[in-house]
Chain A
Amino acid sequence: MNAMLQSRNPSSGIGSLPAGFVRIWGIRLLLVGVFVAIWKLAGTTGFLNPVFIGTPEGTLVAFFDQLYGAGNIWMDILYTFVETVIGFVLGSAAGMFAGVLLFQSPSLRQAVAPLVVGANSLPRVALAPLFVLWFGLGITGKVALIVSLVFFVMLTTTLAGLTQPNRDYEYLGRAIGASKRQHILYFIVPAAIPTIVAGLELSLTYSFLGAVAGEIVGGSFGVGVKLTAFANAFEINRFMALLVLLVIISTLTVQLMRHFTARLTRWHAKEQASDA
């Protein structure tokens, strides 16, 4: 495997970095640089008012201030992070369980299919005020909002993964005399895993969204509460700095999950690489 990959991607000469690594990171940094430059220019030329868009250097100062300075927001970050993780775990566990349940009972599946579509098409953020009313300003309401988002994502991806038809596997399984249990264990579940993992990744992003949106609608702590306060006080640099931090945290969390799920889907990545 390694030999094959290396012969196709000769190393770029910088240590053992794969070819293209430097170029890809160059393009990435260039894009960020262009964005920052436009942001800066829009403010200095008076095209946009810095009172509303902040400034790159002000954001940079605010970024470190929020980490180490007087206005540090670790408690709020922690609060939002805990909501996100609890909501993600509960919502995805319940969603996967429901997906497996519907997979095992085709009649139940048919019965609830239109209901799932209906519930899934409801913009769940609209429920946030209701959850504030029911659960107050604490963690519970945010967790409920996240669960309402993640549950349906995991239900649909789990079900889609488990029910993808493959006649060859069905024939093969019957020909080698696999029992129903073995068929599920050796054919259906492994085939479903890449789809389910993709669903989990989407759900994690949705969980951050749900937590922050819930806090914006009504909460006593958290990133969303801070964002609302900063916007209301025209502290745009601090607003921007917190957004950047949020992006970093959610990206790292998704990467962390990828690190753990990569083993499960490595074959799938290989498969797609060989198709390309």
Chain B
Amino acid sequence: MNAVTAAVPSGVASVPGTPAVFAEQVRLSVAGAPDILAGIDLTVGDGEFIAIVGPSGCGKTTFLNMVAGLQGYTSGILQVAGRVPKAGRRDSAYALARDALLPWRDALGNVELALQVRGVERSERRARAAEALHKVGLGDALDRHPAQLSQGMRQRVALARTFVTEPRLLILDEPFAALDAQTRIRMQELLLDLLRQFSGTMIIVTHDIAEAITLADRVVVFSRRPAEVTAIYDVKLGARDRKTTELRADPEFGRLFEQVWSDIEKGFDL
């Protein structure tokens, strides 16, 4: 893992040594049905980028929702920055699989929403939202409504909305799943760019193995339901400093891809 040099935003400094996310035997059962999570063990260090992959429907999004405090669990220990997960934490930001933009707000209005909820003063929040949109390349589309934006642009707005609150913990649930292959790679490129100026922790759930390897320091493989962690791979590609296309050409990338792929396949054959 490369050293992170960017400054930590003031006021949200975490306790040294406390993992960003700590999960021990986190289980989710529902009455009259097989368990959804069999017991997840996972420790995510502060400042680490983690990608969770696994067969579709395995419960990776469910686990992510637990970390975001949007979903409860049956048993086990789950901590975010040393505390029980709680929805609406000011130091975390959550991006849904569908962009979930509000169609009645323009791009700027969508991005400023989280700041508005926090009571940030109007002129300040609009300035910050505009800056966030500039960073994702939508500086000239501030007043466009979602209906006037392409899928890729909508997802950029969603990214700007995620980053605008300057979170310490990014929780991304298949953020690019709805995009075509080309746009998706460009969005990964953009996300990598944004992450270079980001010193916090990221957890991303994806069904796209290449995306996981491109974006993460470690790739966590979930088994199919009831889910548990079957493998964790360190990605030693220096992704944080390289272009996606360059990464994909690296032989190590292909080797890792094969390995993760076969792990997920094994999950199906169980």
Where the two chains meet, the residues of A that have a C-beta atom closer than 8 Å to any C-beta of B are: 1, 4, 168-169, 171-172, 174-179, 182, 186-187, 190-191, 193, 267-268, 270-271, 273-274
Could you give, for residues 92-132 of chain B, a 1 whenever the CB lies within 8 Å of some chain A CB and a 0 otherwise?
11101010101111000000011011100000000000000
Bound Cα distance from A175 to B117, whole angstroms: 11
Is B179 an interface residue when CB atoms closer than 8 A count as contact?
A: no
Give the residues in chain A near B113, CB-CB below 8 Å: 176, 186
Residues on the A chain within 8 Å of B117, using CB:
176-179, 182, 186
Inter-chain contacts of B148 with A (CB < 8 A): 1, 4, 270, 274
Judged by DSSP, the binding face of A is helix
B contact residues around A178 at 8 Å (CB): 88, 117
Given known A168-B98, A186-B116, contact A174–B103 (CB-CB < 8 A): no
The residue from B70, B93, B144 contacting A174, defined by CB atoms under 8 A apart: B70
Q: Find A270's partner among B100, B118, B147, B165 (CB 8 Å cutoff).
A: B147
Q: A190-B104, A267-B105, A268-B104 are in contact. List 18 more A-B contacts (CB 8 A).
A: A168-B100, A169-B100, A172-B100, A174-B69, A174-B87, A176-B94, A176-B117, A177-B88, A177-B118, A178-B88, A182-B117, A186-B117, A190-B105, A191-B104, A267-B104, A267-B145, A270-B145, A271-B145
| A177 lies within 8 A of B147 (CB) | no
Give chain B's interface secondary structure class.
loop
A264 to chain B, nearest CB (A): 9
Residues of B within 8 A of A172 (CB): 94, 96, 100
Q: Which of A168, A175, A187, A267 contacts B147 (CB 8 A)?
A: A267
A187 touches B102 (CB 8 A): yes
Identity of the chain B residue whose Cβ is nearest the Cβ of A166 in the assembled complex: B100
Contact call B145/A175, Cβ cutoff below 8 A = no
CA distance A179 to B87 in the complex (A): 11
